[in-house]
Structure 1
Amino acid sequence: MKLLHIDSSILGDNSVSRQISAAVVKVLRAEDPGLNVVYRDLGATPAPHQSGSLLAARGLDPAARTPTQASEVADADAILDEFLAADIVVIGVPMYNFGIPSQLKSWIDHIAVAGKTFRYSEAGVEGLAGDKRVILISSRGGFYGPESPAAGLEHQESYLRGFFGFIGIKDVEVVIAEGVNISADQKQAALQGAVAHASGLGRLLRAA
C-alpha cells in the first residue's frame, strides 16, 4: 500500500499541521509496517503555478518541446503520478486568510487533469480517483466550525471536500486543530485533541 504525505505550511517546525500530519503518518506506519510513504513538502519546494508555457508545452509533441518546456511538463507529471499511485493521501493544510495555502492550490491544479482524475461526458462530470482515502489535517488560528460566527468564512475544509468529491473521492477524513492562535493553552489543547484523534485512524483503517 502506498501513502502520499503532503505538508503545505510555511512555518517549518513551528507548524501545528505538520506536527499532526507526522503523527497521522506514524500511526498508519505502525498499522502497516510495509507502508510505502512518499513525502512532498510544498512549503519548502512549492509546486509550480500553472502557466501559459506549461499549457503550450502540453499541446506539443514531446520532441518539439524546448528543454525548459520538457522540464515543466516532467515536474507537473511527477506531481500527478505521485497522486495517482497513492492509496492514502495525508495532507497537512493550515488555514491562510480563510482558505488553503497557495502552494497547495498549485498542487491541486496539477492533479485536476481531465482524462486522469475526472472526465466530462453527456451525463456530466465523472470523478476518476475514487479509490483513494484522503486524510486532511486542518489547523486554524481561530474558530470556523458550523456553530461559529465566522463559519461563513471557512473556505478551507469546504473547498477541499468539494474538490476531492469532484474527482470522485468520497472517503475523506478530517482532523482539526482550531483556535491555535487564541492562546498558548488553547493551542496545546487543540494539538493534543487532534493527535488523540489521529491515534484512532489506524483502527479506522483496519475496520474499513
Structure 2
Amino acid sequence: MVSENRMLDVGIPRLLLAYNNLAYHLLLIKDESAEEYALTGLRLAREQGILPVQTYLLSTLGEIALARGHLDAAENYFKEGLALAERIAMPERIAGFTANLGLLASQRGKMDTAIHRLSTAMKASDDLGTRHLSAQIRIWLAPLLAEEEGKALLAEARAIAEAGGRKRLLEEISRLSNAGSTYLSRN
C-alpha cells in the first residue's frame, strides 16, 4: 500500500505542473486568468521548496508578461528562472530561458543580442536532443536572419516538426513561409 506521505510527495509536483500547464494553455488562448494560475503554482512550489517545477512556472510567467508587453517583468522572470536552472543543473531549462531572453531582446529591438541568445539556445537544445525546443527556436530565429539563412532554418524546423508530428509548429512555419521573403529578412 502506498503511504499518504508518498502520495503527497508524488501528487504535489504533479499538481504544480498542472497549474503550469493550465496557465500555459490559457496563455495560448489569450485568457487573462493565465497569470493567476501560474502565480498560484509558483507560490505553492516555493512553499514546498520544489525547485525544478519553479523553473517551468517562471518560464510561463515570463512568457505571459512578454505576450502582454510587460518586458521588464518578463526579463525578471526569465533571469530568475535561468539562475535557478543553472543552480540546479537543468540544461533543457537553461536553453529555454536563453531562448526566451532572445525573444525579449528581439521585442526590445536588440537584434544582435536576440540572434546571439537564440543561436546559443538552439545549439544547446540541439546538443541535448530536445527536438521540439530546437524546432521552436529555429522558428523564432529565422525572421531575424538574412533571407536564405532564415529559409534554411525554417526547412530544418519543418523537418523536425514533421518527424515529431508537431502540428502547431508546422502551422507556425507555414505562417512564416507564407508571409514572404520580406518577413524573413532582417533588413
TM over 0.5, yes or no?
no
From the two aligned structures, give the one with the greater helix fraction. Answer: 2
Higher relative contact order (CA 8 A, sep 6+): 1
TM-score of the superposed pair, with normalisation by structure 1: 0.29
TM-score of the superposed pair, with normalisation by structure 2: 0.31
From the two aligned structures, give the one with the greater strand fraction. Answer: 1
